[in-house]
């Protein structure tokens, strides 16, 4: 009998804790989730929101991607904590560097995916993770990138110019009511990248609360076009339940009074 897939539903997959070694000598903690019964058709390398404001490898879109997409879409999901970031998985060594030294973190994740022979690698950045994608993710082994709620805070015009010159596919998924960059301005700023698709999401907000299914469908549509969307909303088979209490201290209200870091 089919059961509805809920926010805390964990579908079957091969999951393993991994460690990434950076070129500047740090160990980062993460997880790789692969399809249980087949080779993956694509791979997501997830770059999370600001760790100073609750961002981590378990931020809800990435958590749900890892819990659902191996089973529903045959997609491998690699997520990890950037330097100095903590989650249930543990704490990565180092300290937050405002997008500068995180270049080593991005490189380590891409290298891990390459050495693990993971196919069709796409970067999926969210908020701060979109800046990391634009600044440090233009690697020959990366097929393309998807940007969720891109604020364009740390990345600069030269980074957009580099993506434009390279020609790799780029999609910016922009919520209608974003806190930092709304669709009209996003269209103007991403015009510098002719191949960039700007996808507005009506009613969406920066953290995509209530929109996880929409976002996962749009990701799958681009990285694995052979997979039908919308993805199933029910599952006929074994299903575990995640502990949502583990993320209670990472809500936005817990960071209301924390200043947003600038580039300098």
Domain boundaries, the chain: 3-255
CB atoms within 10 A of CB 8: 14
Q: How far apart are CA 186 and CA 217, in angstroms?
A: 21
Q: What is the pTM of this model?
A: 0.95
Burial 38-53 (b: 16+ CB within 10 A, else e): eebbbbbbbbbbbbbb
- 93-131 tens-digit pLDDT: 999 999 999 999 999 999 999 999 999 999 999 999 999
Residue 197: the pLDDT is 98
Euclidean distance between CA atoms 69 and 252, whole angstroms: 25
User: Which residues, at least 6 apart from 215, have a Cβ–Cβ distance to it below 8 Å?
Assistant: 61, 148, 173, 201, 208
Over the stretch 16-56, which tens digit does the pLDDT of each residue have? 999 999 999 999 999 999 999 999 999 999 999 999 999 99
The pLDDT assigned to 210 comes to 95
Task: Give the number of other Cβ atoms within 10 Å of residue 79's Cβ.
Answer: 26
Q: Residue 256 — very low, low, confident or very high, per pLDDT cuts 50/70/90?
A: low
Positive or negative: CA dihedral 60, 189, 177, 233: negative
Mean pLDDT in residue range 145-151: 98
Q: Sorting pLDDT into bands at 50, 70 and 90, what band is 1?
A: confident
Question: Quick one: pLDDT at residue 232?
Answer: 97
Q: 109: how many CB neighbours lie within 10 A of its CB? A: 27
Q: Is 169 in contact with 89 (CB distance < 8 Å)?
A: no
Encode pLDDT of 166-207 as tens digits.
999 999 999 999 999 999 999 999 999 999 999 999 999 999
C-alpha closest to that of 88 among 123, 113, 63, 125: 63
Q: What is the architecture of the domain spanning 3-255? A: 3-Layer(aba) Sandwich (3.40)
Considering the chain, what is the average pLDDT of its residues?
A: 94
pLDDT of residue 253: 47
pLDDT score recorded for residue 251: 56
Residue count of the chain = 264
CB 149 within 8 A of CB 183: no
pLDDT range class, residue 248, cuts 50, 70, 90:
low
pLDDT in tens, 69-98: 999 999 999 999 999 999 999 999 999 999
Residue 245: per-residue pLDDT: 75
Give the C-alpha distances (Å, rounded to integers) separating 20 from 5, 69, 93, 111, 217: 31, 22, 10, 9, 28
């Amino acid at each position: 009998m089919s059961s509805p897939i809920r926010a805390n539903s964990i579908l079957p997959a091969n999951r393993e804790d991994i460690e990434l070694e950076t070129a500047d000598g740090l160990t980062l903690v993460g997880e790789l989730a692969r399809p249980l019964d087949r080779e993956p058709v694509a791979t997501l390398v997830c770059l999370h929101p600001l760790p100073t404001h609750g961002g981590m490898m378990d931020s809800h879109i990435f958590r749900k991607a890892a819990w659902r997409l191996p089973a529903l879409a045959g997609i491998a999901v690699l997520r990890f904590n950037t330097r100095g970031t903590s989650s249930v998985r543990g704490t990565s060594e180092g300290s937050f560097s405002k997008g500068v030294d995180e270049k080593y973190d991005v490189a380590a994740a891409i290298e891990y995916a390459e050495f693990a022979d993971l196919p069709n690698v796409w970067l999926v950045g969210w908020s701060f993770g979109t800046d990391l994608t634009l600044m440090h993710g233009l690697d020959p082994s990366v097929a393309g990138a998807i940007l969720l709620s891109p604020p364009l805070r740390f990345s600069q015009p030269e980074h957009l110019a580099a993506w434009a010159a390279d020609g790799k596919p780029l999609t910016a998924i922009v919520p209608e009511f974003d806190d930092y960059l709304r669709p009209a301005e996003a269209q103007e700023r991403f015009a510098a990248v002719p191949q960039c698709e700007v996808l507005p999401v009506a009613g969406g907000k920066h953290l995509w609360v209530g929109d996880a299914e929409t976002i996962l469908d749009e990701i799958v549509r681009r990285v694995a076009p052979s997979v039908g969307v919308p993805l199933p909303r029910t599952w006929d088979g074994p299903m575990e339940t995640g502990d949502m209490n583990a993320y209670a201290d990472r809500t936005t209200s817990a960071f209301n009074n924390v200043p947003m870091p600038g580039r300098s």
